[in-house]
Structure 1
Amino acid sequence: MQFYPLFPVLHPILKPSFPNCLWEGDRNSKFIALSFDDGPHPQYTPQLLKVLDRYNITANFFWLGACVNRSPEIAKDICDRGHWIGLHGYDHRNFPMLAPNELKQSLEKTQVAIYQACNLQPQQVRDVRPPNGLFTPKTLNFLQQWDYRTVMWSVVPEDWVRPGVANVVQRVLKDIKNGSIVVLHDGICGGEDVAEITQVLIPLLLQRGYQFVTIDTLWQQIKGTNGHGEGETRGIVNH
């Protein structure tokens, strides 16, 4: 069963119910965030980077720690290009299925992997996207207690089931609006098509006047300031 038709219905219900999550940016600006989950992948991610380089687009990557450890040189390439880095857990296990200590260890192991590959300190990588978008209020409370920021999405074209490049592009164009966070995948599920999807999608979104920004920029938009300070730290250390 494909769940794509449910996402536009669920989004306006979930967003006000969990206001501490980042679901989208400011609806009054043309800023959007292009994000990629489940990587880095040794084959699909380099293909994607070539497309992003071609259009000089800054994107956002939510990494699995196990994948960072398998492809540290690709992780470093992404970071060196100035893309924003977030956490997706160590091995894509659903957060509600983990005991609190297991969840904390999963995130910290991923931060260690990122530090070893990219020299980013743990306090510089605090944005977390739960695998499969699954969380509970208890999960969110723990993440907040541990000083992480939960990042969700507003445009989910379900690329991981591979409905075809044209279908994914059409779904994004149908749902995109000011402030949208688009989630695609450069990992083992969906990554086969990610470079082609992005190659088709970026020029169409640029034609509509959208500007691609980091997740941190959207946080700052909706809160006025970056409450946790990661953006300023990343800016000084890396860019």
Structure 2
Amino acid sequence: MMFAPLYPHLYRVLAPMFPDCLWSAEPEQPLVCLSFDDGPHPQYTPQLLEVLEHLGVTANFFWLGAAVRRYPDVAREVFRRGHWLGLHGDTHRAFPQMRPEALQASLSATQAAIANACDRPLDWVQTHVRDVRPPNGLFTPKTLQLLHSWQYRPVMWSVVPEDWRCPGVQRVCDRIMKQVEPGSLIVLHDGSYGGQDVAQTTLTIVEQLQTKSYQFVNIQELWHLKSGLESG
């Protein structure tokens, strides 16, 4: 069963219920945030990086610790090019299925892998890489409570085109263009599921969005937009 038609409705229900997560923002300008889960991947991520470099777009990568350890050179290149980094758990295991100590260890292991791959001090990574997207978007109020208590920032999504099912580049792009609006947070995948199309999808969707005057921001800028709106 495809859930793609349900995600826009799910987002609109969940976002106001869990306002301490980053789902999207409401900027005055046409800004959008482009993010990628499940990497790094030895083939798909380098292809994606070349497309992003060609387009002059900064993106956001939510990494699996196991993949970072397996492909440190790819992770280092993503970091070197200035993209924003986040955590996706160590092995893509659903957070609600994990005991608190196991979840905390999973996130810490991912930070340690990033520190090693990107040649940064661990305390720097612990300070600067603290955005967390739960695998498959699965969380509970307890999950969020734990993340906040450990000084992590939960990041979700507003546009989920279900690219991991590989429905084809055109269908993924059509889904995005139908749902996107200023402040949207788009989720794509550069891992084993969906990654084979991610470079072409990104090229197509960025060009389409740029024709509509969209500019691309990172997760930190989206947090600022969200907090500015809430305090305004």
- TM-score range (shorter-chain normalised) is over 0.9
Deviation of 1:122 (Å): 1.5
Deviation of 1:28 (Å): 2.5
**1:207 lines up with 2:211 in the alignment:** yes
- The match for 1:68 is 68
Equivalent position amino acid for 2:91 in 1: D
**1:30 lines up with 2:30 in the alignment:** yes
- The match for 1:194 is 198
- The match for 1:158 is 162
Contact 1:162 1:193 in 2 (8 A): yes
- The match for 2:97 is 97
- Corresponding residue SS for 1:196: helix
Equivalent residues in 2 for 1:50-89, closer than 5 Å: 50-89=50-89
Equivalent residues in 2 for 1:9-24, closer than 5 Å: 9-24=9-24
- Corresponding residue SS for 1:38: strand
- Relative to the length of structure 2, the TM-score reads 0.95
Deviation of 1:29 (Å): 2.6
For structure 2, which runs of at least 5 residues remain unmatched after alignment?
none
Contact 1:26 1:218 in 2 (8 A): no
Equivalent position amino acid for 2:8 in 1: P
Equivalent position amino acid for 2:55 in 1: Y
**1:216 & 1:25 partners in 2: Cα distance?**
12
- The match for 1:4 is 4
**1:217 lines up with 2:192 in the alignment:** no
- Corresponding residue SS for 1:23: coil
Deviation of 1:121 (Å): 2.1
**1:202 & 1:223 partners in 2: Cα distance?**
26
Deviation of 1:26 (Å): 2.1
**2:216 & 2:194 partners in 1: Cα distance?**
21
Equivalent residues in 2 for 1:105-120, closer than 5 Å: 105-118=105-118, 119=120, 120=124
Equivalent position amino acid for 1:160 in 2: W
**2:154 & 2:37 partners in 1: Cα distance?**
14
Question: Higher mean Cα deviation, 38-47 or 22-31?
Answer: 22-31
Contact 2:88 2:132 in 1 (8 A): yes
Q: Deviations over 1:89-135 (max 9, x none)?
A: 00000000000000000000000000001115211100000000000
Contact 2:27 2:225 in 1 (8 A): no
For structure 1, which runs of at least 5 residues remain unmatched after alignment?
226-239
Task: Calculate the aligned-residue CA RMSD, in Å.
Answer: 1.0
- Corresponding residue SS for 1:19: coil
Equivalent position amino acid for 1:222 in 2: K
Q: Deviations over 1:58-95 (max 9, x none)?
A: 00000000000011111110011110000000000000
Contact 1:25 1:31 in 2 (8 A): no
